Structure 1
Amino acid sequence: MTLVIGGGGGIGSEVARRLPGTVVVAGRDMASLEAIADEVGAHTRQLDARDLNAVSDVFDEIVDEHGRLDGVVNAAGSVVIKPAHLTTPDEWVAIVGTNLTTAFATVRAAGAAMRDGGSVVLVSTAAATTGLANHEAIAASKGGIDALVRSAASTYGRRGLRCNAVAPGLVRTPQTARLTDNETQAETSRAMHALGRLGEPADVADAILFLLDPDNDWITGQVLGVDGGLGRVRTR
């Protein structure tokens, strides 16, 4: 049994398509959740993952109904690409809530509900490890996820509960369409990725499934770059 928070988004829905077994997709947009649920036979839960208690309630409901929860993915997130001095207070609160608060809520609920171990996978960004202009808000909010992963892995490791994250570069999703559909911006971004292309949801979903897989149960506290080299490699 696996829970995908943000399961209606570009990356979350691709994870749901590829997951074996029973899947629950959760998020705020029921239309997108129902579309992926109809496609793959998943269960749905409406959820504002910024609400810590609501997230815990969903975890408890799943355990009560299905007996256990083996893995959870938090693919909720938002993108603000602008310099800090042009970022409004409301934008800052929104991006921290969507990126970092939802991640903390996921770890908090998993720590209470997943008593028999399992895997938690969060989504960070390459911008958290390399300085990218106009990424202050997203880098700060996602950088907290990297630290959260390491601490949670230490706290819950003894019970077999693993916590890891993937850190994508620029991935083609509905959320990034205003960047990827602009050919000038897309070409600039491609040039920043050593492999010379933008990411696809499947690229990230494959890495998430790797971290969820119980065969890889000696991996915890890691932030896996799935970014075409953006986070570590400088192009010529």
Structure 2
Amino acid sequence: MKNILLIGGSYGIGQAIANRLSETNNVHVASRTSDQISEAITYHTFDVMEDEIATLKLPDAIDGLVFCPGSINLRPFAALKLADFEKDMQLNFFSLVKVVKALIPKLKQAEQASLVFFSTVAVKVGMPYHTTVAASKGAIEGFAKALAAEYAPSFRVNVIAPSLTDTPLASKLLSSEEKKEKMGERHPMKRVGTEEDIAAVAVFLLSDDSSWITGQVIGVDGGMSTLQAK
């Protein structure tokens, strides 16, 4: 049975991943809240912006790491301050680097660990009002590829780049069925993503079925990054 650690995982995509994994793995979730976490999952109180991952009682070997924290800060560039970029970079990127750096010894103890990070379709496809999120998530993509190259074959590193997904984080953008339908029409698949769409790919990347996949940015975006909607 593998030891899988999710940073974040008490709601949204992280929760969907944790629930799927808990059926056949030893799953640990480190997050600020535990309201939605199943009894089959080991919970650790953890704030990625404040706490040190080394203080948690985790297994000696970690076979899979999923980093879920992120932000959706959609505003015109002219309305943003430098502090907005710094805040998004701290949450999306620097906190990830801090966690990974601290966990390297435990990841090396696994036979071949798998790391899964999250980006956004807006890194590949330029979109208005996405400057802060595209910048910080773009840093994740570059970091993941370099990390994958440096640590292969000891462990694998891949990134999932979703388009708009129906999660609590995106609730303001999808607050009505009309908004969901309108946003869905922008995608070739004519709908927005679901938590399970993303979770299925994450679980695959953590499994041995993806043992020859590393250094990839995988678009789970309803075709938005490569196709034109009709």
TM-score, with length taken from structure 2: 0.90
Which of 9, 27, 31 is the matching residue for 2:31? Answer: 27
Give the Cα–Cα distance (whole angstroms) in 2 for the partners of residues 164 and 100 of structure 1.
15
The reply to whether residue 133 of structure 1 matches residue 135 of structure 2 is no
Superposition deviation, residue 84 in structure 1: 1.5
Give secondary structure in 2 for the equivalent of 1:192. coil
For structure 2, which runs of at least 5 residues remain unmatched after alignment? none
Amino acid at match of 2:114: S
Q: 1:111 to 1:105 in 2, by over 3 A?
A: same
Match of 1:62, SS state, is: coil
The letter of the residue matching 1:133 is P
The 3 A distance-change label for structure 1 pair 43 and 7 is same
Match in the other structure for 1:7: 9
TM-superposed CA distance for 1:98, in Å, is 1.6
Secondary structure of 1:167's counterpart equals strand
Aligned runs of 1:127-206 on 2, under 5 Å?
127-159=122-154, 161-183=155-177, 185-206=179-200
Q: Distance in 1 between matches of 2:37 and 2:30?
A: 11
> Equivalent residue of 1:35, what SS?
coil
Q: By how many angstroms is 1:49 displaced?
A: 1.9
When structure 1 is superposed on structure 2, of 107-116 and 18-27 the one drifting more is 107-116
Residue identity opposite 1:24 in structure 2: H
Alignment check: 8 A CA contact 1:107 1:120 kept: no
Q: CA–CA distance in 2 between the matches of 1:173 and 1:158?
A: 34
Residues 85, 56 of structure 1: alpha-carbon distance in 2 compared, 3 angstrom cutoff = farther
Across the aligned residues of Structure 1 and Structure 2, the Cα RMSD in angstroms comes to 1.8
2:105 is aligned to 112
1:102: how far off? 2.6
Tell me the amino acid that sits aligned with residue 18 of structure 1: R
1:122 aligned partner: 117
Cα drift, residue 34 of structure 1: 4.1
1:22 maps to amino acid? N
* Match of residue 82 from structure 1: 75
- More deviation in 219-228 or 83-92? 83-92
